[in-house]
Structure 1
Amino acid sequence: MIELGIGMFGDLQVDSATGKIQPAAQRMREIIEEVKLMDQVGLDFFGMGEHHREDYAVASPEIILAAAATVTKNIKLGSAVSVISSADPVKLFQDFASVDIISNGRAEIMAGRGSFIESFPLYGYDLKDYADLFDEKLELLLRLNKQDTITWSGRFRKPLINQQIYPRPVNNSMPIWVAVGGTTSSVIRAGRLGLPVMFAIIGGAPENFKPLFEVYEQAWVDNGHDMKDFQVGVHMHSFFGDNSKAIADKYYPFYASQMNRIGASRGWPPYQRSQYDFGRSIHGHLIVGDVNESIDKILHVIEMFGLTRFSAHMDVGSPDHADMMRAIELYGTQIAPKVREALKKAE
């Protein structure tokens, strides 16, 4: 059964004329309203990202998720992602166990390296240890999720000696996903460990990711994991409206501005409307359009990769809250039911 949900990074809207940045307090309150609506319209999960920049509101996803847990009943609540490399896995586990308790067992952790590096100097880590930090801390997080009492040692933190970890999640453990970009080693690691994977397809043609999906599935099988437990998802930039051209035109300035802000620090050329229009085509990475277009493209991606989860990343550039609410309403009441119905008929 497919899970359909939404991921956000907590982008703050930046006034293109003045450069003034939306107050984080305003955006956080809007996010809680948006997650409440997601739950009401029957979406399956919500993921919140971690960033440490002035144009993002959320540095600690678990804080937002704890708040969202108090106004929702059914939707799963996870990170998207927690930057495990620069986090303390013990504190991260305790925080998410707390969210799990508040939400009555709806919390998830999505571990990733993140697409930004601001957290490394902020928390005192050296980028030369980028890969080793991730490997060691993921291993510790997985151990914490399986054992009440742990003895462990590594390079980057003090050892744990018969240490009990509290609080425990509702079912004593939580789902842990791994988010990956485009590296073969990452998907092989996830397959070896038997962890569900979320692929971030945020540029280019989705078809180009097919070999990575195949490598992941092969690693899963080769390491003796049961295919009935196999879970795989994609995270794609998305936005939905009543009229295709109108919503594409309205969303473009927000999307392009954020691409240019990020691109300025990474040496990217200015973002072009032609890139956006290609991205919206059946071969591109964007799902921006009306209900029928969005249904068709989501189904296309699900069938291409054999997905169990689809995450619409909907707040790039922080479009207006009213438009976010309408997009969520369309997704939950019209797009998601028709996607589920089409997949059920195809079984």
Structure 2
Amino acid sequence: MEIGVSTFVETTLDVQTGEVISHAQRLREVVEEIVLADQVGLDVFGVGEHHREDFAASSPAIVLAAAAPQTKRIRLTSAVTVLSSADPVRVFQDFASLDGISNGRAEIMAGRGSFIESFPLFGYDLQDYDELFNENLELLLKIRESEKVTWRGSHRPAINNLGVYPRPEQNPLPVWIGSGGNPESVIRAGVLGLPLVLAIIGGNPVNFAPLVQIYKKAASKAGHDISNLPVASHSHGFIAEDTETAADKFFPSTQYVMNVLGRERGWGHYDRSSFDAARSFEGALYVGDPQTVANKIIHLRKNVGITRFMLHVPVGSMPHDDVMKTIELLGTEVAPRVREEISKWESGVNN
């Protein structure tokens, strides 16, 4: 059971102080968070790509590369790379470079992305949303399979027997498919034999179990060994020494961000009752003391089949010290409890 952290490198309004952190300061803080995650024994750290004022990481590979020489073990991944509006050649080159710098610890998490700012920025038409992703994923996988590439599509100039460099330390460079729960994307990942990441940020996480089964069925039907295909989840959360402190600290920034996005997307108002329902045992928020969060992760593993859990923190701008404390508790208290319980459970299942 792998456990890690993901972040969008938020630079939203701090609802406690009324201030907005600079992009530069937040980027430096995230590097510190990655280093700490490695030190406390976490398995993976993911940085999401965005192209808007309230998120600072437009280039996850650069952020991760800044932390790579200061870390030893932790895997470094995008979360996600918005592949629909990215050049697959540059994506591969960036993460192959990260892979070399980190001595083989880079991963790409490819997704369509739920934010659309990159499309007009890079000159793409949203009407081509799905076709762009399919073409770009095809090219990305072709590049990782072969040093010399010949390829032709509809939205990018053709490539005729050209080399793509540098080549990564890992062969193949890991590529995961990120999904918000769309059955089509889950099936695609299974057919291609690629690891799957589910964004479980609402509702009851157990309801994602049928999607995991659909994924495994598609993979098996395509001839892939499903025992070698990990499934990850990405879920919002926060950890403190006691559950009420965790909830009280995490709610204000979460409410602010959810209501900003809600106004953009037509969601209903997000209030404390919505938050408290989501942090219940059956909800999608992993907020509480270490034992509470560990119990929820264990429940997710047993009932959904998740083999990697990524705690997304913060949601909105929070004090850096609080985020660092959450990472420390996740690594030193939550992860050991989860691994111990899952090990016992799997031994019993196998016996």
Q: TM-score range by the shorter chain?
A: over 0.9
Contact residue 294 and residue 334 of structure 2 kept, 8 A: yes
Instruction: Indicate the residue corresponding to 1:125 in structure 2.
Output: 124
Q: Matches of 2:315 and 2:126 in 1, distance apart?
A: 26
Aligned pairs (5 A) from 1:306-345: 306-345=305-344
How many angstroms does 1:45 deviate by?
0.4
Instruction: Indicate the residue corresponding to 1:143 in structure 2.
Output: 142
Aligned pairs (5 A) from 1:38-117: 38-117=37-116
Instruction: Indicate the residue corresponding to 1:198 in structure 2.
Output: 197
Contact residue 21 and residue 55 of structure 1 kept, 8 A: no
Q: Matches of 2:320 and 2:16 in 1, distance apart?
A: 19
Q: Post-superposition, which runs of at least 4 consecutive aligned residues in structure 1 deviate over 4 A?
A: 17-20
CA RMSD of aligned residues (A): 1.1
Three-state SS of the structure 2 residue aligned to 1:29 is helix
Residues 195-254 of structure 1 deviation map (CA, whole Å, 9 limit, x = unaligned):
000000111111222221111111011111012312111111111000110110111001
Three-state SS of the structure 2 residue aligned to 1:59 is coil
Contact residue 7 and residue 312 of structure 1 kept, 8 A: yes
Instruction: Indicate the residue corresponding to 2:175 in structure 1.
Output: 176
Q: Matches of 1:40 and 1:180 in 2, distance apart?
A: 29
Aligned pairs (5 A) from 1:250-261: 250-261=249-260
Three-state SS of the structure 1 residue aligned to 2:237 is strand
Instruction: Indicate the residue corresponding to 1:16 in structure 2.
Output: 15
Three-state SS of the structure 2 residue aligned to 1:161 is strand
CA pair 17-253 structure 1, distance change in 2 beyond 3 A: closer
Q: TM-score, normalised by structure 2?
A: 0.97
How many angstroms does 1:345 deviate by?
1.3
Q: Matches of 1:154 and 1:252 in 2, distance apart?
A: 46
Contact residue 50 and residue 81 of structure 1 kept, 8 A: yes
**Greater shift in the superposed pair: 210-219 or 283-292:** 210-219
Q: Matches of 1:42 and 1:237 in 2, distance apart?
A: 20
Instruction: Indicate the residue corresponding to 2:224 in structure 1.
Output: 225
Q: TM-score, normalised by structure 1?
A: 0.98
Could you tell me which runs of 5 or more consecutive residues in structure 2 were left unpaired when the two chains were aligned: none
Q: Matches of 1:147 and 1:124 in 2, distance apart?
A: 28
Q: Matches of 2:101 and 2:250 in 1, distance apart?
A: 35
Instruction: Indicate the residue corresponding to 2:246 in structure 1.
Output: 247
2:31 matches 1:32: yes
* Identity fraction in percent: 53
Q: AA paired with 2:312?
A: H
Q: Matches of 1:228 and 1:291 in 2, distance apart?
A: 29
Aligned length: 346
How many angstroms does 1:148 deviate by?
0.6
Q: AA paired with 1:67?
A: A
**Greater shift in the superposed pair: 63-72 or 12-21:** 12-21
How many angstroms does 1:18 deviate by?
8.0
Q: Matches of 1:225 and 1:17 in 2, distance apart?
A: 50
Contact residue 90 and residue 141 of structure 1 kept, 8 A: yes
Q: Matches of 1:344 and 1:184 in 2, distance apart?
A: 30
Q: Matches of 1:211 and 1:32 in 2, distance apart?
A: 36
**Greater shift in the superposed pair: 56-65 or 200-209:** 200-209
Could you tell me which runs of 5 or more consecutive residues in structure 1 were left unpaired when the two chains were aligned: none
Q: Matches of 2:168 and 2:184 in 1, distance apart?
A: 30
CA pair 322-19 structure 1, distance change in 2 beyond 3 A: closer
How many angstroms does 1:264 deviate by?
1.2
